[in-house]
Structure 1
Amino acid sequence: MEDKRDKILKVAVEEFADHGYKAASTNRISEVAGVSKGLIFHYFGSKEKLYTAAVTYSVDLAMQEVPIGEMPTENFMEGAIWSTKQKLHFSKNYPAAFKLIMQSYANPPAALAERLHAYYTEMLQMQDVYMNQIFERVTLRADVVLEDAHDVIRALFDYTIKIATDYIRENPNATMQEMQPLVDKFMHMMAIVERGMIQKT
């Protein structure tokens, strides 16, 4: 029975990622998964709960494929680059799960917005634990607020993932080697953060 539940979740991830919450069809999910619609509601109770379960399933998969505990923390650049490469790899190998995560984070269904916001806040706090370990090994300028530095790095991560998503959408068969310029771009932006961008006279 767990095999059927797992199949429903995998199909639901694809359905919600492709059509969004409102337009997603439990009829299509039951047809593709090869189960009755009644079985879907037996397992999950409602469309809202199925969506939440699909999001949780996707995040769990991401945490499994991108084990944040393995991120290098000895060097700021190495840790940031490792994280970016792993996220790019996940977005390529699991595009539907990645898309659903991004959608549910940036534009969640109104009825689930508060619950998903709390869920992602908890996930980000876990990521911050490791980011803090990296920041502990660097010396920020006296006029730089740690929280602002966090926000800048997170914004760079988000931007890199956005352009990677656009690239993968246009080049679905791209290899990680072909995506190396995206990693190089991130490294260059990180170097600007470290050194600054204004030539002092």
Structure 2
Amino acid sequence: MDITKKFENLDNDKQQRIINAALKEFAENGYEKASTNRIVKSAGIGKGMLFYYFKNKKALYHYLTDYTLDIVKNEYLTLIDTTEPDFIERMKQAARVKTKARSDNPDTFNFLGTLLLTSEGEVSADQLKKIQELQKLGNSKIYDNINNTLFRDDIDVDKAFKLVRWSIEGYQNEISAQLAGRKMSSINLDPYWDEFYEYLDILKTSFYK
């Protein structure tokens, strides 16, 4: 039985404790400065147990990379509805999907941010390929089958795409900073979504016919 199978046969709660502790450690400190001592302390396990399942820090990082990429694909990208031809409406739907995925997997998405900045030597060639494939999938989910005729004739559509995307991402980042440290389950997001939709209406007024 390989190491991954051994780990995945662990009790689910213990498995998730280890994953979450490791994701958080790498997200906060990066690959080089991440400490396996802090990981085992946070997970409440012995160091020997961690290295029984993962022979070294790099093996653990590789496991977390695959784990994160699978969640991004299955709980975010594949759920974006590409039948919606209105770019702003599709971005609206994608934002809701991403918010839920991030709320369900906060440490995973924080780890993803550091993963995209990591050096090539810290992920495998297969994982680099997987990252590139996910980036390609993400672009297709956002831009394929969009009805460009909705935009005003005097608008550069590619620049409008970027402005809309930057506006939405900027709003999400601002709200994420405001809500940092609070439990998402205890927050009523409806007022934030209402405000978000108001901004989208302004974008439509600015860019659409």
TM-score bracket, shorter-length normalisation: 0.7 to 0.9
- Residues 92, 168 of structure 1: 8 Å contact kept: no
Q: 1:126 aligns with which of 127, 132, 137?
A: 137
CA contact (8 A) 1:15 1:24 kept: yes
Give the direction of change, closer, same or farther, for the CA distance of 1:154–1:104 in structure 2 (3 Å limit): farther
Q: Distance in 1 between matches of 2:164 and 2:128?
A: 20
Structure 2 residue 111 is matched with structure 1 residue 100: yes
Give the length in aligned residue pairs.
192
Q: 1:112 to 1:180 in 2, by over 3 A?
A: farther
Task: Indicate the residue corresponding to 2:203 in structure 1.
Answer: 193
Q: For the Cα contact (< 8 Å) 1:13–1:97, is it kept in 2?
A: yes
Matched, 1:39 2:52: yes
Normalising by structure 2, report the TM-score: 0.70
- Residue 81 (1) aligns with residue 92 (2): yes
For 1:13 and 1:170, locate their aligned partners in 2 and report how far apart those are by CA, in whole Å.
16
Contact 1:66 1:90 in 2 (8 A): yes
1:97 Cα deviation from its structure 2 partner: 1.0
Larger mean CA deviation between 110-119 and 29-38 belongs to 110-119
Question: How far off its partner does 1:10 sit?
Answer: 4.1
2:61 aligns with one of 47, 51, 70: 51
Pairing 1:88-167 to 2, within 5 Å after superposition: 88-105=99-116, 107-108=117-118, 111-112=121-122, 120-136=131-147, 138-167=149-178
Contact 2:23 2:111 in 1 (8 A): yes
Paired letter, 1:140: F
Q: Which amino acid aligns with 1:78?
A: E
CA deviations on 1:91-120 (whole Å, 9 max, x unpaired) are 222211121112333x43585499788654
TM-score, normalised with respect to structure 1: 0.72
Matched, 1:179 2:179: no
The Cα of 1:30 is off from its aligned counterpart by: 4.1
Extract unaligned runs of 5+ from structure 1. none
Q: CA RMSD in A?
A: 3.5
* 8 Å Cα contact 2:76/2:101 also seen in 1: yes
For 1:15, which of 25, 30, 35 is the aligned residue? 25
Deviation at 1:192, TM superposition (A): 2.5
Q: Percent identity?
A: 19
> For 1:18-38, what per-residue CA distance to the aligned partner results, in whole angstroms no more than 9, with x for missing partners?
443233212333452636243
- Cα displacement (A) at 1:126: 0.7
Equivalent residues of 1:55, 1:104 under 8 A apart: yes
